[in-house]
Structure formats: C-alpha cells, structure tokens
C-alpha cells in the first residue's frame, strides 16, 4: 500500500478487506460468490470434495482464489484422512490433488498451487503426522502469500494511476477472486486509498455477470465510485473519451506475453488499442506459465445454458439453440501496455521482462 496513506485510512482499508476464503482449525470457509450480491452466504466444510465442487460450480472463482482453495482442500484431506502409514497417506493425498486438478482447466494458479503442495506430499517423512503438518503449512503459506502478493501488486500498480483517472475493468479481479484485496481491483483500491480521485467503469461480464454482481458489490461496499455498463458499451464509452485506463486480471500469462483472461478481455484490448487507451494487466507471478505454448492452453467451455439463460434462471432465447460458451479468451502481447506483478512492472518484449521474475 502507498506509504503516504494515513494510518486511519490504512485501518479502514484493513477493516474492509473482504476475505473470500478462510482456514480455521481443519475447516475451510468461503464466500459463495454465486449468491452475491443478493445474499452474503458463507459456506463451511471439512470435506475436500465439497471444495472441489465449489470450484467447479464457481462458488469460489478467480485464478488466485481457486489455487488457494485447492491447496486448502488438500490440507483438509491431510487433516481428515485417518491413515497412519506414510506411503498410503501420500497416495491418498496425491489422489486428492489429481481430483482437484480436474476442477477447472484454464487458470494456471490452480496447477501452480497443486504442484507446490504435491511436491511437499512426495518428500520423505518419518510419520504420517509429520506429513500432515508440512502439507497444512504449505497450504497456509500459499494462502498468506496470496494476500501479500495482492498488496504488493496494488502498491506497484497504483503508481501508474493518475488523479482523475476513469479505469475500466472487466469481470472480477478483486478480493473475491483472490484471498483478499484483489489484483486489478487491488491496484484500484491502493490508488483510491492513497487519495487519488478515480472512478471505475465495470463491464457486466456476460454470461456469469462477475462484473455486475461482484466488482460492483466490492467497490460499492468501500464507496469507490463505480458505473456499470453492458459488455457491448465498451466501444461507445471509449469513443467518447470516457476511459483513461483499462486494468484487468489474468488467468494465465504466457511467457511471450499472451494474456488469457475472462471472455471479452480481447475485445476490450482491441478497442483500447484503437482508442490509444493504456491496457494494463495485473496478476501475481503465480499466474505466469513459463512452460505452455499458446496452442497448449485449454480454454474452458462451460455449460451452454449459461448463455441461453440469465444466471441459469430465465431463458432469453429458444432453449434448444446451439451456442458457444468459451469462458476465456487470449489477448496477444502487442495489445498489452504493461503487466503489473508483485515483483514489478513488465513491458514489451515480455519474454525478457517476465523472465526476470522467474527466480527472483
């Protein structure tokens, strides 16, 4: 957070921080984002399978949040499985990791977090309890690191924000997509609480309406000025000079600088480029995929009824119509002005600027 923020404001921010996920004594609690903004439902479980289902159903969603939730689900399994034999406990925990890997295919943070936990599972242990202790410790480390990474992204990114900016954001890259604070919304929060008078334009983000339901809810809770538009208004607002910057999150960033994020991000990037509006991506380095090529990335195809209906409730079309429902798209590096991470800001060429963050 900015150094010039007053202690009173800092306290205010901290007290307002939304914790989307929490761990407490062998139980995981989360805000069910499917119910927002109508109901602030908290779900609690000691069952790793229930967490896997919550990720699949998008009760827990957003790249960093699903990585953390998956790690905590493995910690739940470690706590719950009554197994004294180290090898057998290791096998069962690897089984839980494999189940969690199948929950959603696109956000790389899920695989990053599970890889970390699996590496801990596979070490040598003298007892099952020692194994349990290290698995839980690793999951909690991933949890705490996420909060810290988001705070730093905010601090780094807020330097790019000017007093008076109107920032357009897409989907929800906020506290509800991370453990707390958010990536794109972390930058917006840090700028706002450092005293910059900014405004936000949130796109509704069809079909699951994460912008309308979650981003608006988060920002209004803190009194950060926000206006909602439908996805097809982005060109109009940019052509009228109403947007000074775009900041979005990411589900996966490839080393040449391809940004995989919520469907509609690419359209916004093309429009931003045409209208010479800076297009920033804010993400922790856990979102950088140093291995995959663009053709390897699986774009999640979700239930067609998400498109045929409003939030799986009212049909807005002929119920049998054929539809497409890709959940993410790919923005090429040339459209990305800069990538804001907790380790600093990367600019083109991204292969060298992102490589700097790999082992630093």
**Contacts to ligand MRU by CB under 6 A:** 61-64, 107, 171, 173, 177-178, 183, 210, 249-251, 261-262, 327
Report the alpha-carbon distance of residue 101 to residue 98 in Å, rounded: 5
| Nearest-approach distance from CB 183 to ligand MRU, in angstroms | 4
Residue whose CB is less far from ligand MRU, 128 or 171: 171
| Nearest-approach distance from CB 300 to ligand MRU, in angstroms | 8
Backbone angles phi, psi at 172, to 5 degrees: -135, 110
Backbone angles phi, psi at 246, to 5 degrees: -115, 135
H or E stretch covering 114: helix 108-121
Buried b (16+ CB within 10 A) or exposed e, 195-213: ebebbbbbbbbbbbbbbbb
Query: Contact at 8 Å (CB) between 354 and 255?
Result: yes
Residue whose CB is less far from ligand MRU, 121 or 180: 180
Residue numbers annotated as active site:
251
| Nearest-approach distance from CB 219 to ligand MRU, in angstroms | 15
Q: Which two tokens stand for residue 247?
A: 């900041």
Residue whose CB is less far from ligand MRU, 138 or 251: 251
As beta bridge partners, residue 201 has 168, 227
Residue whose CB is less far from ligand MRU, 63 or 93: 63
The DSSP secondary-structure symbol of 213 reads I
| Nearest-approach distance from CB 104 to ligand MRU, in angstroms | 7
Q: Among candidates 265, 261, 215, 249, which has minimal Cα distance to 36?
A: 215
């Amino acid at each position: 957070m900015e150094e010039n923020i007053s202690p009173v404001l800092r306290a205010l921010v901290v007290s307002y921080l939304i914790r989307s996920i929490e761990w407490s004594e062998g139980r995981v609690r989360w805000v069910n984002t499917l119910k927002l903004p109508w109901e602030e439902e908290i779900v609690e479980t000691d069952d790793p399978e229930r967490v896997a289902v919550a990720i699949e159903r998008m009760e827990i969603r957003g790249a960093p949040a699903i990585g953390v939730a998956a790690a905590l689900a493995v910690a739940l399994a470690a706590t719950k499985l009554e197994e004294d034999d180290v090898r057998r406990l290791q096998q069962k925990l690897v089984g839980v990791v494999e189940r969690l890997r199948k929950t959603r295919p696109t956000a790389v943070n899920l695989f990053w977090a599970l890889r970390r936990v699996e590496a801990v599972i596979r070490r040598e242990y003298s007892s099952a309890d020692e194994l349990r202790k290290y698995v839980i410790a690793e999951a909690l480390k991933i949890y705490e690191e996420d909060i810290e990474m988001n705070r730093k992204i905010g601090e780094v990114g807020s330097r790019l924000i000017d007093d008076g900016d109107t920032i357009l954001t897409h989907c929800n890259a906020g506290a509800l997509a991370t453990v707390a604070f958010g990536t794109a919304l972390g930058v917006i929060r840090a700028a706002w609480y450092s005293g910059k008078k900014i405004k936000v334009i949130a796109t509704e983000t069809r079909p699951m309406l994460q912008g309308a339901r979650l981003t608006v809810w988060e920002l209004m809770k803190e009194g950060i000025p926000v206006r909602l538009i439908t996805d097809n208004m982005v060109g109009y607002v940019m052509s009228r000079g109403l947007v000074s910057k775009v900041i979005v999150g990411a589900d996966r960033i490839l080393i040449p600088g391809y940004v995989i994020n919520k469907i509609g991000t690419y359209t916004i990037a093309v429009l931003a480029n045409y209208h010479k509006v800076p297009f920033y991506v804010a993400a922790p380095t856990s979102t950088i995929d140093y291995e995959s090529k663009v053709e390897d990335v699986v774009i999640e195809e979700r239930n067609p009824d998400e498109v045929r209906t409003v939030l799986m409730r009212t049909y807005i079309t002929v119920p049998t119509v054929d539809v497409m429902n890709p959940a993410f798209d790919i923005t090429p590096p040339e459209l990305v002005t800069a990538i804001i991470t907790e380790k600093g800001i990367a600019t083109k060429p991204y292969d060298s600027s992102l490589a700097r963050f790999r082992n630093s």
